[in-house]
Structure 1
Amino acid sequence: MINPYQEPQLLDILRVECTHPSPQTHQPENWLISDQRWKWIGNPTVKQLNNLLTNEVKKSKENQLLFGNELDRIAWTHLQENSVSSSLCFIKPQEIEWHVWTVNEKRKYRVSFQLGEIAYNLSITDPEWLDILNQMPDGSYSSDHIIEDL
């Protein structure tokens, strides 16, 4: 059992009881979870992670367009008219650069990268990465630089 007061950690393997699918237009893979306590199963092995990531990255190589376009957002009307199969995907980007700057005392965070022939510049919303980047002064950073500071 997972400690009821402890949040699951990144890459933890958990058994979570789901009651039924609850797809949304923008997140078709959603399921409604029950109020049962989650069960911690363990941590994945390197081999398990490698198998998972290798298979998922192969899928993304078939189509370099993230969610059907190369923009940093998708219009709600477009999603309503064009279904998506998922709201998440694994990719293996190149030339990753993290950008941090301040506008009117508000921090902004973006990541730019190359996926095949397509250049992306996306907003960062992951809380773990936001915590890491919030410790950095304004500027642009390579992934190597960010990892060194972890």
Structure 2
Amino acid sequence: MILVTLIAGSYDYNGAGMSVITAAVNGTARPEAFAFKLILTAITLGAGFKGGEIIPAFFVGATFGCVSGPFLGLSSSFSAALGLVSVFCGVTNCPITSIILAFELFGGAGLPFFALSCAVSYMLSGYGGLYSEQKIVYSKLKPVPREEQERSLAS
């Protein structure tokens, strides 16, 4: 961790990093910010230390969105908001919660875009998430026959 912090030349990636998340949503995140935070979070959790998983997910999503959005023709600040919400949706597998979070944090103007990004993130995130207790019963990509749904709900 010390080596990565020295390479980064900043303590911004240690701790929660709320100032960097704010900078990303304002459109001014550094291009390498998401990579440093991802590496430091992986080292911390891999070494057995306890820490949050949600705020680092916000950090990585917001900074990656801020940096990659302009390549897609989006403003840095809006793409940071999309990234924050999409990564949160992907790691928690909770699309409705993610859309509500987007509405609470960023207002309703971009709600269709938040819903679309959450839908894509949810479908591509797989069947596991941060919380092992969470079980996804049905396929995310193909419809389940009605009889099977009813049988599953009855048991």
Q: Which structure: greater strand fraction?
A: 1
